[in-house]
A = this chain, B = another copy of it.
Amino acid sequence: MVKISDVARHAGVSPSTVSYVLSGKRSISAETRERVLASIRQLGYRPHAGARALASSRSNVLALMLPLRTGIHVPVVMRFATAVVTTARSFDHDVLLLTQEEGEEGLRRVADSALVDALIVMDVQLDDPRLPLLRSLGRPSVLIGFPADATDLTCIDLDFRAAAEACLTHLAELGHRDVALVGSPPEVYARRTGFAERVAEGFTATAERLGLDAGFYPCEATVEEARGLVARLLAERPGLTGVVVHNEPIAEPLVRAFQSAGRRVPGDLSVVAICPDEVAEQAEPPLTSVAIPAEEVGRRAVELLMGKLDGESVPAATLLPPALTARASSAAPAAD
């Protein structure tokens, strides 16, 4: 293994000079720098990560804890992860993958052992058991999602309340008066997942403000449950003309079920989804939707973390504004 002293000898300088060339923490004459860089290249030198972490108390590794539980849409998680890794690399950091199952103990382990410098956690519950730990860890962290009490924490997410509002406003502007929210599976609400609740709140509040007839229906993410719910909706709410879906896997099955029941989409029933753009675009018909900006959330989570690592003060809360894209699944309701 080639080490810093080998490079130093080869370039005719001291080890510290090599170190400073690499870190840029003090100015080096152009010629020495070039000579050192040439030696580094020739010898194929790579600083030893462990030695560097020991000497500098910086590992240049971030922890990313991902959810792998039910009710979470996997492709969205992967897109977050990709954005996090890619952005971390652009800051010369690597990413250590933790599963949600590792819980608080996992976070403590990688933080206390100095394996990572900072942490990103996804799928934050309103009353998440990891919160006290993250506050006391002594290492920067960023939460993707908002807990009930975010004191002393840095959070980022799509503004789900505004997203629900945008969906409903869109339907109301088209003239819909009787609307329903088809939500995530009941277990998601049971464990008090922030984004799911915020959608429900935003929906309810906006419906009230706009004076709409509104109902809220959590739903398992299976085709059968979607069919069952459609049957129920048709029976219970004969005047229903607008549906907001916040449950990726069943968005399309739901449309299918309405069509099987003889309802045209968007002729008789308009559907608006909160889901990734690809899901909305691939659907038949393409769905009007508010996108979940996974890439942007992941990228900005890392940027926030880097700011904190550099000692900057960063905003405690970042709510990304929703963007609604009108597609073929929504239109004015048929005149009675």
Residues of A near any B CB (own CB < 8 A): 1, 44, 46-54, 59, 61, 64, 68, 74-75, 77-78, 81-82, 85-86, 89, 94-99, 101-102, 109-110, 112-115, 222-223, 282, 284
Contacts and interface: CB of A to CB of B under 8 A. Distances in A.
Contacts of A101: 86
A97 B99 contact: no
Given A75-B74, A89-B102, A223-B284, A48 B54 contact: yes
Nearest to A138: B1
Q: Which 7 pairs of residues, A with B, have the shortest CB-CB distance?
A: A50-B53, A46-B112, A49-B115, A50-B54, A50-B50, A49-B113, A46-B113
A82 B284 CA distance: 32
Contacts of A96: 61, 94-97
A85 B113 contact: no
Contacts of A89: 102
Given A48-B54, A94-B97, 12 more contacts: A48-B113, A49-B53, A50-B52, A50-B59, A51-B54, A54-B54, A61-B96, A68-B78, A74-B74, A85-B98, A89-B102, A95-B97
A99 B82 contact: yes
Contacts of A94: 96-98, 110, 115
A228 to B, nearest CB: 14
Given A49-B50, A59-B50, A223-B284, A86 B99 contact: yes
Contacts of A113: 46-49
A48 B50 CA distance: 10
Contacts of A46: 109, 112-113
Contacts of A75: 74-75
8 contacts: A46-B112, A50-B51, A50-B59, A74-B78, A94-B110, A94-B115, A96-B97, A223-B284
